[in-house]
Amino acid sequence: MHFGRHISGQFNAELESIRTHVLTMGGLVEQQLSFAMQALHKDDLELAKKVVRDDHKVNAMEVSIDEACTRIIAKRQPTAKDLRLVMAIIKTITDLERIGDVATRIARVAIEQPSTKQQKFHVSLEPLCRQAITMLHQVLDAFARMDVDAAAEVYKLDDKLDAEYEAVVRQLMTYMMEDPKNIPNILQVMWSARAIERVGDRCQNICEYIIYFVKGKDVRHLDEKAINDIL
């Protein structure tokens, strides 16, 4: 029994360590997104370059956490809730890595369009980006506490993000119609807006993994009512 407990204690420590790494990765991704937004907003070329340079850190964390998860499955043969945690983590880090790519994409726009003449297009991305960062922050918080209620709250925030995105697109379309020769530049900004809007979808995915871990139900592809019934 003692041996059994020791093993289990070690196992718990390993799971806890992976969870901590996920939160560290999440924190880095949040920072990348925040820096990318600042770089775009303040035309800060150095900061934009830093975001691009640091993307490999996010990628390396994804690979290393993924390896740790596979190792723990092979070594500890987790079942039930432990296994669900590992599965939820494997999926969560994929979404976090993609959010990291969004940060890089925004940073690239800041690098390729450094002139102040584009400023008016950039400004419109700030509230959208801020909302995406809030959503990411809150979902990481829900993940840290494995709190389904908090996850359900974050899930709903995506509607606001979508509405903001629609407003940005309408605004950018107006710029395009007014000034067709600027279409290629405005399109770059529009791609970024779309990428930011997708951050919301990825945060929703993470909400679903939290619910899967806690409730043991896969709620992907269900509508909001069906999800609420499970919560």
Binding site for a copy of itself (CB under 8 A): 56, 59-60, 62-63, 66-67, 70, 73-74, 77-80, 83-84, 87, 90-91, 94, 169, 173, 176-177, 180-181, 183-184, 187, 190-191, 194, 218, 220-221
Tokens 């399109």 correspond to 187
Compare residues 1 and 177 and give the one whose CB is closer to a copy of itself: 177
CA torsion angle 8 10 11 14 (round to 10) = 160
Neighbours of 180 (CB within 10 A): 9
- Answer for the pair 127, 118: CB distance below 8 angstroms, yes or no: no
Tokens 């506490």 correspond to 145
Q: How far is the CB of 125 from a copy of itself (least distance, A)?
A: 17
Compare residues 147 and 218 and give the one whose CB is closer to a copy of itself: 218
Q: How far is the CB of 156 from a copy of itself (least distance, A)?
A: 21
Structure tokens, 143 = 């993940």
Q: How far is the CB of 199 from a copy of itself (least distance, A)?
A: 15
Compare residues 94 and 134 and give the one whose CB is closer to a copy of itself: 94
Compare residues 38 and 185 and give the one whose CB is closer to a copy of itself: 185
How many residues belong to the chain?
231
Q: How far is the CB of 186 from a copy of itself (least distance, A)?
A: 10
Q: How far is the CB of 187 from a copy of itself (least distance, A)?
A: 7
Compare residues 62 and 164 and give the one whose CB is closer to a copy of itself: 62
Compare residues 48 and 58 and give the one whose CB is closer to a copy of itself: 58
The sign of the torsion formed by the CA atoms of 7, 12, 15, 21 equals negative
Q: How far is the CB of 221 from a copy of itself (least distance, A)?
A: 4
Q: How far is CA 29 from CA 22, 110, 147, 183, in A?
A: 10, 18, 21, 30
SS3 43: coil
CA–CA dist 35, 108 (Å, integer): 12
